[in-house]
């Protein structure tokens, strides 16, 4: 294979149906954890809720042991952007915002989803950050459904929404393909040039996941080898679904009502 060549795995309808099951379990586990978010609960307790539900469904947590990650979910608070390690010593506090990123594996396929939850009453700016991050995701989804769309259209749409609000997208970490592997080609950045990058085609399954900082876009990897924080210490929010491109449009495999 030539250097720089990417391998995009197109899923057939049967495979997408299997991915719907993985996605549903992922989304339900994330929703359960979100309902449990409150002042005084530990991130380890949230992680236990997620693992218990996923395993009860006959699946396994995608993140547990992935590259040596010790938790079943990534749980990141305030200025932590992604990959926070669950801990029995980390308690949520009133005013925090907590990002929970979940994956479940069953029938040979993964689901991947994330959301940002408020802990009690949060500042109006923190709520605006959460709202804009979610809105930017849907801007990306709409771009993915346009005729002749390319990956760059998603990033351009996400970044346009975020920049208009005065926030910044993280550039070091990006969305990705999802399937038999948790992370597949193509990369799906939250920035880019419209009309550039791999063409989006029927059967592609991708994780669109805006990571949005209240301040600068820069991030710093922490000594634990996992946790990533904002370079300026300001808040960050995260929103993600696994999205299948079908004849009927974009299908959000991890979205649950």
What residues contact 230, with CB distance under 8 A and at least 6 apart? 79, 81, 213, 214, 215, 216, 218, 219, 220, 236
The reported pLDDT for the residue numbered 4 is 62
The answer to whether the CB of 53 falls within 8 A of the CB of 28 is yes
Which letter, b or e, does each residue of 140-168 get, where b requires 16 or more Cβ atoms within 10 Å of its Cβ? bbebbeeeebbbbbbbbbbbbbbeebebb
Whole-number mean pLDDT of the chain?
97
Residue 144 pLDDT greater than 70, yes or no? yes
Confidence at 2, pLDDT banded by 50, 70, 90: very low
Residues 182-191: pLDDT tens digits? 999 999 999 9
Residues 212-250: pLDDT tens digits? 999 999 999 999 999 999 999 999 999 999 999 999 999
Residues 96-115: pLDDT tens digits? 999 999 999 999 999 999 99
Residues 20-45: pLDDT tens digits? 999 999 999 999 999 999 999 999 99
The architecture of the domain spanning 13-252 is Alpha-Beta Complex (3.90)
Average pLDDT over residues 73-95: 98
The reported pLDDT for the residue numbered 229 is 98
Q: Which one, of 114, 153, 53, 51, lies nearest residue 242 by Cα?
A: 114
**Other CB atoms closer than 10 Å to residue 117's CB: what's the count?**
21
The reported pLDDT for the residue numbered 5 is 82
The reported pLDDT for the residue numbered 1 is 35
Q: Which one, of 228, 132, 119, lies nearest residue 173 by Cα?
A: 228
């Amino acid at each position: 294979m030539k250097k720089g060549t990417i391998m995009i795995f197109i899923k057939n309808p049967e495979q997408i149906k299997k991915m719907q099951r993985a996605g549903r379990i992922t989304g339900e586990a994330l929703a359960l954890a979100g309902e449990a978010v409150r002042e005084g609960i530990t991130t380890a307790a949230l992680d236990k809720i997620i693992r218990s539900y996923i395993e009860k469904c006959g699946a396994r947590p995608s993140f547990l042991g992935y590259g040596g990650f010790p938790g079943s979910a990534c749980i990141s608070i305030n200025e932590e952007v992604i990959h926070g390690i669950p801990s029995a010593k980390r308690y949520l506090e009133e005013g925090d915002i907590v990002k929970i990123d979940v994956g479940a594996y069953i029938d040979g396929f993964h689901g991947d989803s994330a959301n940002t939850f408020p802990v009690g009453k949060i500042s109006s700016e923190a709520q605006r950050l959460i709202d804009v991050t979610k809105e930017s995701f849907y801007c990306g989804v709409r771009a993915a459904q346009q005729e002749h769309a390319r990956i760059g259209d998603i990033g351009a749409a996400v970044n346009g929404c975020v920049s208009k609000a005065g926030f910044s997208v993280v550039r070091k970490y990006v969305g990705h393909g999802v399937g038999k592997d948790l992370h597949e080609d193509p990369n799906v950045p939250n920035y880019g040039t419209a009309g550039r990058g791999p063409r989006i085609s029927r059967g592609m399954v991708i994780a669109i996941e805006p990571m949005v900082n209240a301040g600068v876009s820069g991030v710093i990897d922490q000594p634990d080898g996992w946790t990533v924080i904002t370079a300026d210490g300001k808040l960050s929010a995260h929103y993600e679904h696994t999205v299948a491109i079908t004849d009927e449009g974009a299908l959000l495999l991890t979205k649950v009502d």
